[in-house]
Amino acid sequence: MILKLLIKEILHRKLNFILSLLAIITAVTLFVSFFTMSDASKRETVRLTRDMGFNLRIIPEETDMNQFWLTGYSDLTMPEEYIDKFYSYKKFSYAHLTATLHKKVTWRNREIILTGISPEIEPSGREKTPMIFSIEPGTVYLGFEIANSFDITTGDELEIFNKLFTVARILSETGSSDDIRVYTTLNDVQEMVDKRGEINEIKALHCLCLTSDEVNPIEILRNQLSQVLPDAKVIINQTIAVAREKQRMMVEKYIIFILTFVVIVCAVWIAALAINNANERQRETGILRAVGYGIGKIIFLFLGKAILLGLVGAVFGFFVGTELSSVIGPEIFQVTANTIEPAYSLLIWSLIVTPVFTALSTLIPASLAVTRDPALILMEE
């Protein structure tokens, strides 16, 4: 009997049902699309802040820091095996580990910087996009100024210290010393400058970026690393570290605020529709009470409609929200566009939460409507 009344109620008040359904679909769509894109936003933030560069640099202990800051690298070296020691050190979290060897040399009567790069290591074991380019043996990447000065193009062959290389890439202009740099593999540079088994820097991305309100973040790192690399000095770029941490914290707080705001707006919206529906049906509620229907059955009628609206709205809202995020997301988050994909776990949660949400939003106005004296309601009508 109640089911028949529910069906009659929906058919009799089609416009109200459609408007309520649209409200719920819109609410679920907003939540699903924003939540799906918020994941992309977090990934985009991680990628963009990661691309600010390595924030942890390990150099030989006796490095002249004045010379280091002038040239950008140490003129001293340390054993290449240090990178293995650092890799095996598990007391703090880091990522994107690599070793380099820099050497200023004269080539074609011009001073250039040879830079050898080791393959990048990801300590976590997870596959991640490298922070630096991966160079094949026997190839070089040329800085913009070198290529421009000697009219060198991709695919040309170059002889550097009696070793033949193929130009794999011409780098974009940076306005820094990188424009006069020749990049190749660590082994090739070690061989050319007779520094086999030596490096002058280890670079990493420190994952636990400590902000300036923490106590002595640099000293903590130095104390930890002194236990495994006593002959090395650690430098942390605080500007990059603090900027990275503040950016991530800002994005996380913003996402929490927006999601909370969406939930509150949806609750108010659905409750307002339920109140309006209950007020419009005062006369029908009074008649049903007068002919013997109990309060429980009438409330069930209201709640049954709300639950049905929630289920239908959850399904349509999920697919509309997912489609919306797949269309708009790649335009906003271009770096991580290919990671935006349907989050089917949200469909399950939508089917659980939305009916409960609509039922609770309807319960209070429905209870107020059905507990009024039917005689008073009919007298007012």
The three-point CA angle 101-105-106 to 5° equals 160
Mean residue pLDDT of the chain comes to 75
129 residue type, one letter: T
Contact indicator for 244, 49 with CB cutoff of 8 Å = yes
- 78 & 201 share domain: yes
Q: Reduced to 3 DSSP states, what percent helix, strand and coil does the chain have, rounded to the nearest 5?
A: 55, 15, 25
> What was the pLDDT predicted at 125?
55
Most confident of 128-132, 151-155, 276-280: 151-155
> What was the pLDDT predicted at 19?
74
Between 292 and 235, the higher pLDDT residue: 235
- In this structure, is residue 334 part of a structural domain? yes
> What was the pLDDT predicted at 240?
58
Total domains, the chain: 2
- 253 & 160 share domain: no
Pairing outcome for strands 232-236 and 110-117: unpaired
What is the CB-side half-sphere exposure of residue 153 using CA atoms within 13 A? 0
- 60 & 167 share domain: yes
pLDDT digit string, tens, across residues 152-182 = 999 999 999 889 999 999 998 888 888 999 9
- In this structure, is residue 150 part of a structural domain? yes
Most confident of 274-278, 305-309, 369-373: 305-309
- In this structure, is residue 132 part of a structural domain? yes
Does 372 score more than 80 pLDDT?
Answer: no
- 181 & 265 share domain: no
Most confident of 194-198, 263-267, 283-287, 346-350: 194-198
The average pLDDT across 327-354 equals 72
Show which of 170, 205, 236 is a domain's final residue: 236
The average pLDDT across 260-288 equals 67
The average pLDDT across 133-138 equals 85
- In this structure, is residue 374 part of a structural domain? yes
Between 34 and 76, the higher pLDDT residue: 76
DSSP 121: B
Band of residue 211 on the pLDDT scale cut at 50, 70, 90: very low
Show which of 179, 207, 236 is a domain's final residue: 236
Band of residue 139 on the pLDDT scale cut at 50, 70, 90: very high
Band of residue 257 on the pLDDT scale cut at 50, 70, 90: confident
The three-point CA angle 162-168-171 to 5° equals 110
Contact indicator for 128, 95 with CB cutoff of 8 Å = yes
- 208 & 341 share domain: no
Name the strand (E) or helix (H) holding 360: helix 344-370
> What was the pLDDT predicted at 190?
93
- Alpha-carbon 20 to chain mean position: 34
The average pLDDT across 96-105 equals 88
Does 64 score more than 60 pLDDT?
Answer: yes
Between 62 and 33, the higher pLDDT residue: 62
- 65 & 36 share domain: no
d(CA 33, CA 307): 22
* CB contact set of 322 (below 8 Å; sequence gap of 6+): 32, 33, 36, 342, 343
Band of residue 225 on the pLDDT scale cut at 50, 70, 90: confident
DSSP lists the bridge partners of residue 139 as 166
- 232 & 337 share domain: no
Take residue 129 and report the two structure tokens written for it.
């996009």
Between 165 and 90, the higher pLDDT residue: 165
The average pLDDT across 274-290 equals 63
Residue in this structure with the two tokens 């991966």, named with its chain if needed: 134
In 3D space, the residue among 105, 227, 76, 212 whose CA is nearest the CA of residue 163 turns out to be: 105
Domain containing residue 282 = 2-48+246-380
Contact indicator for 105, 112 with CB cutoff of 8 Å = yes
Show which of 182, 211, 236 is a domain's final residue: 236
- 186 & 253 share domain: no
Take residue 207 and report the two structure tokens written for it.
């994952």
Take residue 289 and report the two structure tokens written for it.
């009470």
Neighbours of 348 (CB within 10 A): 12
- 97 & 152 share domain: yes
> What was the pLDDT predicted at 296?
67
- In this structure, is residue 241 part of a structural domain? no
Q: At what angle do helices 217-225 and 238-280 cross, to 10 degrees?
A: 120
The average pLDDT across 139-151 equals 93
Query: What's the chain's length in residues?
Result: 381
In 3D space, the residue among 228, 367, 231 whose CA is nearest the CA of residue 303 turns out to be: 367
Band of residue 33 on the pLDDT scale cut at 50, 70, 90: confident
- 188 & 94 share domain: yes
Does 333 score more than 80 pLDDT?
Answer: no
Between 243-252, 296-305, 338-347, the lowest mean confidence (pLDDT) is in 243-252
Contact indicator for 33, 322 with CB cutoff of 8 Å = yes
d(CA 45, CA 36): 15
